[in-house]
Amino acid sequence: MRTSETIETHARVLFELATLADVVDAVNADLAAVATAVRGHVDLHQTLRDAGLPAEKKREIMRGIFGESVTPEALAIVTLMVERGHTDSLGELARVFSETAEAQRGVVVADVTTAIELDDALRAKLVKQLTEATGRPVTLRERVDSSILGGIRINIAGRVLDGTITSQLDGVRQALTTARQGGEA
């Protein structure tokens, strides 16, 4: 089984378990926290990736660090992934689980790219407008990309709404290069 299939299977099974235990939101937050902690701590990350370290030792490390602070469901799946050599895929597992939970709840995810971070007021206004436009609850997945110079790009439900300064400049550049060259008569 490919890694992406493994992650999707683990996320789907974990979602079903979390749903039965009524801890979907907690598992969602826990997966993100574990992935961030492992990725952010170089020594821990390297230790968990060490193929020479026995699975039992990796299990002990995971339980010691996360055992009291995350749900048993989240701990079980991340420990299994670490034991099987998928430490680098914990972030992907968190993302796929989150997307699965959102899809099951009927939430539409809008990928939003801006040149600077959104403030709370603009974020709330954007969520409200997108929710009204789609007729479904909307969650923002935000990304900051200074190369767009300004404005906003929204990718939602397969549509791209591009109001970035970069795209506007590209449009002007294209119009200028294809415009008929005039001259004096």
Measured in degrees and rounded to the nearest 5, phi and psi for residue 145 equal -140, 100
Using DSSP, state whether 8 is helix, strand or coil: helix
What residue type is assigned to position 109 of the chain? Answer: V
24 is written with which tokens?
A: 């979907």
Domain range list for the chain: 3-103, 106-178
Fold of 3-103: Peroxidase; domain 1 (1.10.520)
- Nearest to residue 17, comparing CAs of 28, 32, 1? 28
Q: Is this model's pTM higher than 0.75 or not?
A: no
Task: Dump strand ranges (E) for 17-170.
Answer: 108-114, 138-144, 152-156, 159-162
Q: 130-135: long-range contacts (C-beta < 8 A, 24 or more apart)? A: 130/154, 130/156, 134/108
Yes or no: say if 35 and 26 are a contact pair by the CB < 8 Å rule. Answer: no
Measured in degrees and rounded to the nearest 5, phi and psi for residue 153 equal -125, 130
pLDDT tens for each residue of the chain, 185 residues long = 577 888 999 999 999 999 999 999 999 999 999 999 999 999 999 999 999 999 999 999 999 999 899 999 999 999 999 999 999 999 999 999 998 998 888 888 889 999 999 999 999 999 999 999 988 899 898 999 999 888 899 998 788 888 888 888 888 888 888 877 765 65
